[in-house]
């Protein structure tokens, strides 16, 4: 199997722009549409990783962003299953990230509520409330648990950097979303060519949809 590239940046950290970069660079890019079509996020939640890896879209594509690649600890599974792959982690200021999360969804949970609460360690709240009522995302708000979100975000970045630092430093690209040179640096990391002045910034506006970006 050919080497693959996985964007493991958490949602609201430029993942859509990474997908655009993949596409512009001529990679066989896979994003939210493939996740939704194949039920990859559900398979991740169920621990059925082989269902993801055996799906046709996974087999024919070589660059992946959006769910479920950034899910907690999933990069460890991906690294051991596909050890020659490359990984991308874009980060941003924590408070800026949290504000983007809140604005993107009008303070509602992003994505399927049960998976969202698993990722951001709000399981206790989820199960203490009426589980079925939580299908209405407005029953829980992000701003009610800001410290949990910031902790989850910072832990994900810190743990990913630490993991690859120990296992394979050359497998991980770490860049700041605010860095104007990030695309040139990423292209160099992946050994691909892009135009000297290349830039893109996708999905910057508020969007209350269920996409995990």
- Among 39-48, 125-134, 136-145, where is mean pLDDT lowest? 125-134
Say yes or no to pLDDT of 111 above 50: yes
Quick one: pLDDT band at residue 140, thresholds 50, 70, 90?
confident
Say yes or no to pLDDT of 205 above 80: no
**Predicted confidence (pLDDT) per residue in 172-201, tens digit:** 999 999 999 999 999 999 999 998 889 987
Instruction: Please report the DSSP string for 130-161 in residue order.
Output: -TTGGGSGGGSBGGGGHHHHHHHHHHHHHHHH
> What local confidence, expressed as pLDDT, does residue 110 receive?
92
Cβ burial of 121 (10 Å; 0-12, 13-18, 19+) is middle
What mean pLDDT is reported for the chain?
90
Of 69, 77, 79, give the one whose Cα is nearest residue 50: 77
> What local confidence, expressed as pLDDT, does residue 139 receive?
72
């Amino acid at each position: 199997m050919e080497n693959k590239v996985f964007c493991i940046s958490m949602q609201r950290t430029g993942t859509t722009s990474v997908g655009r970069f993949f596409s512009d660079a001529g990679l066989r890019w896979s994003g939210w549409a493939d996740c939704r079509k194949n039920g990859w996020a559900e398979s991740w939640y169920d621990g059925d990783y082989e269902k993801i890896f055996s799906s046709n879209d996974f087999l024919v594509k070589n660059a992946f962003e959006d769910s479920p690649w950034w899910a907690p600890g999933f990069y460890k599974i991906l690294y051991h299953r596909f050890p020659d792959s490359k990984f991308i982690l874009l980060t941003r200021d924590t408070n800026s990230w949290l504000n983007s999360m809140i604005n993107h969804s009008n303070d509602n949970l992003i994505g399927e509520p049960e998976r969202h609460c698993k990722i951001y360690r709000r399981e206790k709240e989820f199960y203490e409330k009426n589980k079925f009522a939580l299908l209405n995302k407005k029953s829980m708000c992000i701003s009610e648990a800001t410290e949990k979100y910031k902790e989850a975000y910072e832990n994900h970045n810190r743990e990913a950097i630490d993991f690859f630092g120990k296992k394979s430093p050359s497998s991980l690209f770490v860049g700041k979303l605010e860095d104007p040179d990030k695309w040139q640096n990423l292209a160099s990391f992946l050994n691909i060519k892009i135009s000297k002045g290349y830039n893109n910034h996708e999905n910057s506006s508020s969007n209350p949809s269920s996409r995990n970006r």
